[in-house]
Amino acid sequence: MEKNQKNPLLAGVLNMLLPGFIHVYIKKEWLKFILTFVGLELVLAIVIWFGSSLQNTRSFAIPQGLCPGALALFVLVPLFVSGMKATTEYNKILDSETMYQSQKPVSQDDDEEQLRKIQKLRDDGLISSQQYDTRKNRVGKKK
């Protein structure tokens, strides 16, 4: 995993424990986190209250805590999955940007700087040895 990439499993767990925390984990957006947290906590409280009241009716003979717990899972599992999805998408964007940067022609720096940049791309595994040789020859032809 690259330095800037985020862990999808950790993101899913954090988003499940603190609904909306994915906004802070990925992009440091605190306002979105606070609004999402408050909204989802209200939804979760309503779901638990509804489950408890449903369980307390005489027509349902359900073990204590089963109904609120099952209904809470309908909220928590999507939070976990959405946290993982958001992080995976974020990582794909980072990978795309890295790939774009590796395929972009080297700028019009001096030849030594261009060769150093090409070498770094090859050392980082962003271009193949064949691409390295082609780019190196282009820099050599300009001389």
Q: Same structural domain for residues 27 and 83?
A: yes
Q: How many domains does the chain have?
A: 2
Same domain assignment for residues 114 and 98: no
Q: Which amino acid is at 6?
A: K
33 and 85 fall within a common domain? yes
Token pair recorded at residue 54: 């449903």
pLDDT confidence bin for 38, thresholds 50/70/90: very high
Distances (CA, A) of 22 to 5, 26, 41, 119: 13, 6, 15, 36
The pTM for the full model equals 0.55
Average pLDDT over residues 107-122: 79
Domain shared by 5 and 16, yes or no: yes
Which domain covers residue 33, as residue numbers? Answer: 1-103
Kindly state whether residues 56 and 92 are assigned to the same domain: yes
Residue 93 and residue 74 share a domain: yes
pLDDT at 55: 67
Lowest mean pLDDT among 12-16, 86-90, 94-98, 138-142: 138-142
User: Do residues 58 and 84 share a domain?
Assistant: yes
pLDDT tens sequence across 43-63: 878 877 877 777 666 666 666
Percent of the chain with pLDDT over 70: 78
The overall average pLDDT reported for the chain is 79
C-alpha dihedral sign at 117, 3, 100, 28:
negative
133 and 72 within one domain: no
Three-class SS state of 111: helix
- Looking at the structure, tell me whether residues 6 and 65 fall in a common domain: yes
Residues 6+ positions from 129 with CB-CB distance below 8 Å: 122
83 and 56 within one domain: yes
Confirm if 125 and 143 have CB atoms less than 8 A apart: no
34/64 same-domain check? yes
If asked whether residues 44 and 93 sit together in one domain, one would say yes
